[in-house]
Amino acid sequence: STAVPSASSSTSSSAKSTTVTPVTSTGDSPDWKAVAKAVSPAVVTITVTSSSSSDVGSGVVYNSSGDIVTNYHVISSALDGQGKISVTLADGRIYEAEIIGHDQTTDLAVIRLKNAPSDLTVATFGSSSDLAVGQEVMAIGAPLGLSNTVTTGIISALNRPVEVSTDESQSQQTDPNDPFGQLPQLQNQQQTSTSASVITNAIQVDASINPGNSGGPLFDSTGKVIGINSSIASNSSSSDTAGSIGLGFAIPVDLVTSVVDQLIASGTVDHGVLGVSVTTGEGTVDGSSVAGAEVAEVTNGGGADAA
C-alpha cells in the first residue's frame, strides 16, 4: 500500500511547481508523443469512497495551490462529508483532498489537495471559442480505473446540446440508442429534465472515452486544455456496462474557467436563467422550413416574463 504523504515528506523544499509549456509540432501532424509527455504530469486520478460506493474519475491540476478541476458527478457522493476523496498524481503520489466548490448545473467541481506538494505540474488552459470541427484532440484520464490512459481523435461537432444525469443513482438514459433525445423521430417529443440533470453545449469527440474519464482534460495539439470530458453516449442502458462507441462529450474550457474561478473565489456560481421551457419546433424562414427552439412555456416572474 502507499501512504498518504505529509507536507514535510512530499517533496523537497526547493522544488517548485511548473506550468505545461505549449508543444510545437515540426511536421504536418500533431506530435502526440511530445504532447502526452508534457501534459500527463498535470492529469490526476480521483478515487471517491463513501459508505455505499467507491468510484474512480479523473481531474486536472488548475493551479500551484493544489486545486483540481473535475466533474460534479465524480465527487457528488462525498458531499455529505462522509466520503473520502484521494488524488493520485501521475508519479504515483497520493493525497487526500477536500471539496472547495461544486456546481451541479454545469457538472463541475473543484477539489484541493491537503498538504499539496510544491512541485505540482499545472495545466495550461486554452480557449474553446476558436475550435473547429475536424480538429485533432487528445484525452487523458483513468477509464475503468486505468490511470494515465491517452487517447486521440477529432472534434466531431461543436455546441452539441447534451443532457446527462449528475445523480449516479438515476438512469442516465431513457432510450439506450438515443440517450440525449436527439434522433429525428424524437425531435417533436418534449424531453423531461429532472433536478439531477444538466444540459451542456458540449464538444463532441470521437476519442475513446469511458467511465473513469469523467473530469479529465481534453487537449489540443499544443497541449492546452480545451475541455473537461464529462459524458458518453452508449448502446447500453447501464452505466456499469457502458463503453465508448466514439461519441464522447466535453465541457468547453471557456465555461470551465469561468465556473472554476467563481468556485475558488466563493464556492458558488451565479447563473443567468432565461425563464422559459422549450421544445424542438419548426418554422418558416425566407420560404424554407427550418428547425429551431420553440417556447413552450414562460415561467411566471422569470426574466422572459418580465421582458
Single-letter residue type at 55: D
Would you call 73 a catalytic residue per the annotation? yes
Which member of 67, 73, 77, 244 is catalytic? Answer: 73
Which member of 55, 67, 103, 107 is catalytic? Answer: 107
Polymer length in residues for the chain: 307
Report CA 21 to chain centroid distance, whole Å.
Answer: 22
Would you call 214 a catalytic residue per the annotation? yes
307 vs 304: CA distance, rounded Å: 5
271 vs 236: CA distance, rounded Å: 33
Would you call 107 a catalytic residue per the annotation? yes
Which member of 208, 214, 221, 244 is catalytic? Answer: 214
Contacts of 113 (CB under 8 A, 6+ apart): 66, 68, 87, 95, 96, 97
**86-89, Cβ contacts within 8 angstroms, sequence gap of 24 or more:** 86/4, 86/46, 86/47, 86/49, 87/44, 87/45, 87/46, 87/47, 87/59, 87/111, 87/113, 88/44, 88/45, 88/46, 88/47, 88/147, 89/41, 89/44, 89/117, 89/120
Asked if residue 135 lies in contact with residue 103, where contact means CB atoms within 8 angstroms, the answer is no
Tell me which residue of 229, 5, 14 sits closest to 107, measured CA to CA.
Answer: 229
Residues with catalytic roles: 73, 107, 214
